[in-house]
A and B are shown apart, each in its own frame.
Chain A
Amino acid sequence: GQNIDQPTEMTATEGAIVQINCTYQTSGFNGLFWYQQHAGEAPTFLSYNVLDGLEEKGRFSSFLSRSKGYSYLLLKELQMKDSASYLCAVTLNTGGFKTIFGAGTRLFVKA
């Protein structure tokens, strides 16, 4: 079966750094995405990893280890507007276009 695990909730302080972990067990792998979703809104794309290593984009970085089935999203210099859910998603290499999403991690940023 397909399984993606991430923590349900996290709390961090404004200005700090937070790391959101994601582990996955899937049959076939064709890339890992991170999306941000504010309450009541649609998900929006943050990052994509297909090779092992770190991808950096401004205050956000995403890391992937395919051999460990592990990824993390790193958010630096946290701002109040970063309070949102962060969705880890894996695209499967099964001949069809299927993406499996984790349940998401709700991040609360406090002053």
Chain B
Amino acid sequence: IAGITQAPTSQILAAGRRMTLRCTQDMRHNAMYWYRQDLGLGLRLIHYSNTAGTTGKGEVPDGYSVSRANTDDFPLTLASAVPSQTSVYFCASSDSGPGSNEQFFGPGTRLTVL
């Protein structure tokens, strides 16, 4: 693994189904983030994690949950998907906080909820 990876690349999901988007980084970054990107709205922060074992809510956390059991992995779960969650999801990481540290983004997961 080099950098930050996400899986799956894309997914079509029926409304009401549970879905977990996976994110793994091998840069030993403390901080990780989940964003969704919608046309005309830019990137919006869903949840973040300052360090393993801690998580926080971003701008649009409703309907999503995260966990950070270790440094490398930061899965995002949709407990019961709805069509408004159709979006491109990006995971990112940075060394410590983002104050002066650039965020490295994964390739994204394109999710369609029908």
Q: A residues engaging B (CB < 8 A)?
A: 4, 30-31, 33, 41-45, 48, 50, 87, 89, 91, 96-104
Contacts and interface: CB of A to CB of B under 8 A. Distances in A.
A87 B37 CA distance: 12
A33 B102 CA distance: 8
Contacts of A102: 42
Q: Point out which of B33, B35, B99, B107 has the most chain A C-beta atoms below 10 A from its C-beta.
A: B99
A43 B88 CA distance: 12
B97 A44 contact: no
17 contacts: A30-B99, A31-B99, A33-B103, A41-B108, A42-B105, A42-B108, A43-B103, A45-B104, A50-B100, A87-B43, A89-B43, A96-B50, A97-B48, A100-B45, A100-B59, A101-B42, A104-B42
B105 A44 contact: yes
Nearest to A103: B42
Given A42-B106, A42-B107, A97 B43 contact: no
B43 A101 contact: yes
A100 to B, nearest CB: 8
B58 interface: yes
B31 interface: yes
A33 B59 CA distance: 18
A44 B44 CA distance: 16
B40 interface: yes
Contact of A96 (B44, B56, B108): B56
A45 B103 contact: yes
Contacts of B8: none
Contacts of B94: 97
B16 interface: no
B12 interface: no
B41 A103 contact: yes
Interface string B70-114: 000000000000000000001000100111101111111000000
Contacts of B103: 33, 43, 45, 99
Contact of B98 (A41, A44, A97): A97
B45 A99 contact: yes
